Amino acid sequence: LCLAAGAAAATVLARGAEASVVEREDRKDLWSYNEVVARAFAALTQASYCDEEEDREKLKNDWSCEECEPAGFELVKGSVRYLQRSEIWQENSTFMVVGRMRALEPNSGGEPTRIARELADNGGCAVSVRGTETLTNWIRDLQFWRTPVAFDWCKGCLVEDGFYTITKNSLPGLIKTLRELGCLPAQEVAALRATGATPQAYTSALYMTGHSLGAAVSTVAMALLSELGFEVRLSHIFESPRVGNDVFAKTFKEEFGKRIPVWRLTYHKDPFPHVPEFGYEHVDFEVHYEPDGSYVVCNDTESPYGANQYSLISTLLHTGDHCKTPLATKGSLCWCPWLIPPALEIADVDEEVAEELQPGVVSEDEDGLVAEYLV
């Protein structure tokens, strides 16, 4: 079941009554989808693509996520940390950005957003995981075609081995960093508060995001961190592949879907959400965007009205859609939020010329930066 918004609404709803929204008893307390908050999480996702040393220094010392302010929160300046882990021989194969969050006062006496109210009460930490960028990530990604492994988080659960391995290897460093920021399992926070610690000094609330491979790692991490006692809250993952089998998807929904929404955002004909195909199932809840900015919000794990309206074969020439979203600063998730992607430094492409280009064509600028999203 899907709810359509924007120009796509009439088109989607015209496909039949099945596309209308039914208020379900198990979801009545869930947050509704909020584009303003989603834009904030897109900016947090973009931060994980800040690769240059000077940009990382800005993250650490001078970035508070201005893009998050309309959603009613910011990152505490100086709290941002980045983690990198080597896979095979490369230094930055796995890259995460972690920061302490705090609520802002609403402008002009308006009502605070729900996430702002929650942060005002309990504080929180943001965790952003970068997508596929290096050769070794791609080597891991290739494993999802053939290597599901048992996942002890739930009986009968299987998850893709590469996603699980990267998450498991990254978890000790992530937990260490969270502890440095005062983000601890709930039982430890309760014990500290019982001894007189101020409520804002420590928190167990985590807000997760990630793109591509990073979305898959975030999904597995949510399960493992929750098992350790962290409280996973409102989260947004972008262009995620399928992570586990149907048992994993069902258990994930039971664990998180009745308490918080984990919004899984997809864009147009990006092929990545279509893999792996056999034996895997997406987690709830999908928000699918089209190029005109319209979107549908779907309750079903494999709704035919979201990304699945396109076949995998029909998406293979649209790899440029993998970084695109109208939610991101400058329209690209794969670029540091305060920088301009190389494709957008170029003047608008003449429409006739653009029509002659095949979708998915890759071009490079003088620095070798892929500008695939030009087309």
Per-residue pLDDT 10s for the chain (375 aa) are 677 776 444 344 333 333 333 233 344 445 789 999 999 999 999 999 998 889 999 999 999 999 999 999 999 999 999 898 766 545 556 689 999 999 998 765 567 888 999 999 889 999 999 976 654 455 455 544 568 999 999 999 999 988 898 899 999 999 999 999 999 999 999 999 899 887 778 999 999 999 998 999 999 999 999 999 999 999 999 999 999 999 999 999 999 877 788 999 999 999 889 988 889 999 989 999 999 999 999 988 899 999 999 998 898 888 889 899 999 988 999 999 988 776 544 333 333 333 433 343 334 333 333 333 222
The DSSP symbol for 76 reads: P
Cα angle value 147/260/296 (rounded, 5°)? 80
* pLDDT value at residue 108: 59
What is the model's pLDDT at position 319?
A: 82
What distance lies between CA 290 and its chain's CA centroid?
18
pTM of the predicted model as reported, rounded to 2 decimal places: 0.84
How many whole angstroms separate alpha carbon 133 and alpha carbon 161? Answer: 19
CA angle, 182 then 177 then 49, to 5°: 120
> What pLDDT is attached to residue 3?
74
pLDDT of residue 9: 46
CA distances 266 to 99, 109, 224, 289, Å, are 25, 34, 24, 6
* CA distances for 190 relative to 88, 120, 259, angstroms: 40, 17, 20
**Cα–Cα distance measured from residue 148 to residue 141, given in angstroms and rounded to the nearest whole number:** 12
DSSP reduced 3-state for 127: strand
